[in-house]
Amino acid sequence: MIANNPKRIEVMDALRGFALMIIVLLHCMQHFDIDYIPEYLPESIKTLDSIVASVFSYLFAGKAYAIFAFLFGFSFFIQNENQKKKGKNFRPRFLWRLILLFCFGIFNTIFFAGDILMLYAVLGIVLLLVSNLKTKYVFGIAIFLLLLPLEWYKVFNLLFNSEYVIKESSRSFYSYQTQLYLKGNSFVDVVIGNLTTGRISSFLWNWDTGKCFQTAGLFVLGTLAGRKQLFLTSKVNFIFWKKTLRYALIIVAILLIIRINIYSSFENKTLADSIMLIVTSWANFAFTFVLISLFILFYAKEKTQKVLEKLVPYGKMSLTNYVLQSIVGSVLFYQYGLGLFKYTGAVFSLIIGIVLFLLQLAFSNWWLKNHKQGPLEFIWHKLTWIASSKSK
């Protein structure tokens, strides 16, 4: 039974733990969204910071959240299937679960405006819409979303409609305002700013970069992975992930070549920008599956599994650890706390991120020795099944 296979759950939790580890490292390197390079650093250190930040960002930025989104859809499939086998309709309960996630997101936004829980809660509705559809239709919807239809609409209009003009986004304005209050001394100003200006800035970034469509597409793709039982340990799945790795690498290489030549191929910069966004999104998507495939293939090998399975507790407490990252990170880097954004470049911030990850990993191991779930996971579970015999 797929829902009760401990090996499947283990690799899924480990992969989620890996994604969460990358997220905390990236957030620390980015000073939890404060755009600032310490002025006192020597040029050699600034150069090193720039190289490390660029490489780390290229390899992992956006991909970790994409893995999260893929697993979010997969988790829905497991929960939905478990309830179906009991003759119950999970859809209303999952909608309530999304509302609870939205509330967790509001709390998390108090500390970090870049919160993704609220976005997941809203976009998660797509999972309810596709849950009872035939697999071929679900696959078609996933492809449609991942193609970024809104951006293609812009491209075709720019090509064939001479009067079409793309309205300038107000994202830069809200982003600038966000930087102002984040660098201030008042915790109250940060809270108010995060829940208003920062929230708008975060949404506009996700909308303008196509993340809304891509995230929803990954949710749907995750449910397909569940239907195909792709996280089960089997020879067939091992071959599938090897093929996925090979094809994903080929696609990444092709898209990178296309990216290099986009601006030299189109005189219209606005058109080139739209095509660049599409190609970049597809490249990130393909590279996400390079990472997922590599992780699963390494997890299937005994020697590397012993290392990767140490991430399982961290992944089991992903909600708790994600929110804790925001709380601790804001205190470390924001001006109302230690204000480390003024003193730390990318390398030193990366070290801080590694320490924070190790502390969270130790906490997760300690907590799960005496509890089945993390603190926020327990609350989410209890509230999900409120007024149900399962909550007792």
In tens, the pLDDT along 144-187 reads 999 999 999 999 999 998 888 888 889 899 998 999 999 988 99
Amino acid, res. 376: L
Distance CA 172, CA 205 (A): 9
pLDDT in tens, 290-344: 999 999 999 999 899 999 999 999 999 999 999 999 999 999 999 999 999 999 9
pLDDT in tens, 92-147: 999 999 999 999 999 999 999 999 999 999 999 999 999 999 999 999 999 999 99
Let me know: does 11 contact 296? Beta carbons within 8 Å.
yes
* Residue 318 burial (C-beta neighbours within 10 Å; 0-12, 13-18, 19+): buried
What number is the average pLDDT over the span 49-69? 92
Nearest residue to 336 (alpha-carbon basis) of 183, 108, 110: 183
pLDDT in tens, 342-387: 999 999 999 999 999 999 999 999 999 999 999 999 999 999 988 7
Distance CA 343, CA 205 (A): 27
Nearest residue to 282 (alpha-carbon basis) of 151, 126, 148: 148
Q: What was the pLDDT predicted at 389?
A: 57
* Residue 238 burial (C-beta neighbours within 10 Å; 0-12, 13-18, 19+): middle
What is the residue whose two structure tokens read 């109302």? 336
Amino acid, res. 61: A
Distance CA 344, CA 339 (A): 10
Count of all residues that appear for the chain in the document? 392
Distance CA 328, CA 353 (A): 11
What number is the average pLDDT over the span 267-283? 93
pLDDT band at 3 (very low <50, low <70, confident <90, very high): very low
Distance CA 311, CA 245 (A): 22
* Residue 173 burial (C-beta neighbours within 10 Å; 0-12, 13-18, 19+): middle
pLDDT-above-90 percentage for the chain: 81
Q: What was the pLDDT predicted at 390?
A: 58
Q: HSE-up of 243 (CA within 13 Å, CB side)?
A: 7
